[in-house]
Structure 1
Amino acid sequence: MQTFFKRLLQHRDDLSTLEKQVLDFFVQNPERVLQVKLDELSKDLFVSTATISRTCQQIGFQGFQDFKYALGKNKEQEEENSITKPSSFFPAHKKRFIKDLELTLSYIDENKIEKVANEIHQSTHVELFGMGNSLPPCVDAAKKLMLAGKICNAREDWDELKSVASIMGSNDLAILVSNSGETKNMLQFADILKDRNVKTVAITGRHHNQLQEKVHLSLHTHITTAYFGELDMCSRFPLSLVLDFIILAYLKKVKDY
């Protein structure tokens, strides 16, 4: 459940002392959380049921039951997608990759792809924002667009990304690429870009995330959660796939012009 809890912990600095205590208990005792009712958990933590419910709302859920349901579904998915079982090691890899490919292709919206390609064509400068494992697809896409004659960058340094977001304008385009769509820094970039009236596009690996609510246009992929011990083995190729479709549509548009 590393990815699930990592996403939740990004909200920790925004919580009160009691709410931090509740969140820490969630992270450290997921099995207990799945087993108990709200009033029982309240007694375990020596906090009110209202504090627990408020904590769940602060980290993006409607309440405790909504959080508990998401936690259970995440646990089921993690067990289903386990790639450490010797008897199903390679079949599990193959099944995961095929699933990510097929579902991502099924999510492709040609109208949205054309809209993004058109925005690239009309923009003075294109900046791709990606962090961690989502950065390489951005670097690859930026190189392709540069070779096609479009001014485009994908930067690695967080401070540099923040500075770039702060100087972009209404004639520019920002493409924000994030598996979870919940990374705190990416959400901050999106807010800065919105304040500066920059056209924004999000490409994410999960549906119903905060990032998609902050941009003008959102595209989705499917990325299966997969860990080998503590190592994140989620493949980001679906993000590259969508970026390639966008670039191909852009190249066709340039040729038609």
Structure 2
Amino acid sequence: MAINDNILIKIREMKDNLTPVERMVAEYILANTEEIPHLSIKSLAQLSKTSDASVLRFCKTMGYSGYRNFIVSISAALGSIDEEQKDVYTDIQPGDDLFTIISNISHNNIKSIEDTLSVIDRNEVARAVKVLRSSNRIVFFGIGASGLICMDGEQKFSRINKMSHAYTDGHSQLTAATLLGKGDVAIFVSNSGDTVEILDTLEIAKKNNVSTIAITRYSKSELADKADILLGITTPEITMRSGAMGSRIAMLTIIDILFAGVASAEYKNVKKYLTKTHNILASKHRGRK
């Protein structure tokens, strides 16, 4: 169950992976959200040019036992959207003044985290923390901007004396995956979930029977399907001008959650490591003044 379930975000993320008929229902709902709570199943079927059975199948695909429960969730999702249209992401526009840029980028990052909290599965987070706590070694795999997320994960877990390493290019990833063994945990970071190098590395890791965790978009992808544990994010990369801004901040938040989950559960043991690493860095800082 998601931490703060927002069905509209789920529909947006899953739309392209639905059957053609279910996609018709999804597209009508996303284009006419305000009227949906007032429609009967028959009315929604007629307006979306589908059938009662198709609408019901769509509801079940979204994780609901019936139409009534689905409508309640739609109403709740609409209630979370205020008059300022806080659900809207804003792309970078040529000639934006600095005040606008500060406001829009900050808003987009906040929204990326809020939307990710709407789809992330609390049980999957708990499973991930459990395997990380019992791991011999944590290995992060990511290409490009996702590699930066991996480096952040390596830095954080190393601070609590967890053997960690980030691999950010295809060749080193294949080599590292080949050497994984029992007790190791492999974390794969990819916004699309379809990065070829990541999927090749995942295949090798699974052959070595290690636990695999995916940090990727909350939608159907090969990485999402094949990893043992899925930690889904959601944030539209609006155009090429935005780069990977939204997905990066959402993925970094997932890394922070995993790190805090492990550190909190093992606080008595890791406190000494956190203290040592803090003190050595502080002493270096004081020495340079």
TM-score interval, normalised by the smaller of the two chains: 0.5 to 0.7
Give, in whole Å, the separation in 1 of the partners of 2:261 and 2:96: 42
Give, in whole Å, the separation in 2 of the partners of 1:233 and 1:251: 28
Q: Which moved more, 1:102-111 or 1:240-249?
A: 102-111
Give, in whole Å, the separation in 1 of the partners of 2:19 and 2:171: 33
Match in the other structure for 1:184: 196
Tell me if structure 2 keeps the 8 A contact 1:125–1:152.
yes
Q: 1:174 to 1:252 in 2, by over 3 A?
A: same
Q: 1:251 to 1:162 in 2, by over 3 A?
A: same
For residue 111 of structure 1, the aligned residue among 98, 107, 123 is 123
Match in the other structure for 2:56: none
For residue 244 of structure 1, the aligned residue among 253, 256, 264 is 256
What SS is found at the alignment partner of 1:225? coil
Match in the other structure for 1:97: 109
Q: Which moved more, 1:195-204 or 1:94-103?
A: 94-103
For residue 156 of structure 1, the aligned residue among 139, 155, 168 is 168
Give, in whole Å, the separation in 1 of the partners of 2:146 and 2:96: 30
The letter of the residue matching 1:234 is M
Give 1 or 2 for the bigger CA radius of gyration: 2
Match in the other structure for 1:83: 92
Match in the other structure for 2:236: 224
**Aligned positions, number:** 190
Match in the other structure for 1:57: none
Structure 1 unaligned residues grouped into runs of 5+: 1-59, 74-79
TM-superposition CA deviations, 1:127-151 (whole Å, max 9, x none): 0111100111111111111110100
Computed over aligned residues only, the root mean square deviation of the Cα atoms, in angstroms, reads: 3.2
The letter of the residue matching 2:137 is H
Shift of 1:96: 2.4
Q: Which moved more, 1:153-162 or 1:121-130?
A: 153-162
TM-superposition CA deviations, 1:163-201 (whole Å, max 9, x none): 010110122100101111111111111111111111100
Shift of 1:85: 5.5
Structure 2 unaligned residues grouped into runs of 5+: 1-16, 31-88, 270-289
Shift of 1:62: 7.1
What SS is found at the alignment partner of 1:250? helix
Shift of 1:228: 5.2
1:13-28 superposed matches below 5 A: none
TM-superposition CA deviations, 1:36-57 (whole Å, max 9, x none): xxxxxxxxxxxxxxxxxxxxxx
Match in the other structure for 1:172: 184
Tell me if structure 2 keeps the 8 A contact 1:81–1:225.
no
Percent same amino acid among aligned pairs? Answer: 25
Give the TM-score normalised by the residue count of structure 1: 0.64
Give, in whole Å, the separation in 2 of the partners of 1:221 and 1:120: 19
What SS is found at the alignment partner of 1:84? coil
Runs of 4 or more off by more than 6 Å in structure 1? 60-63
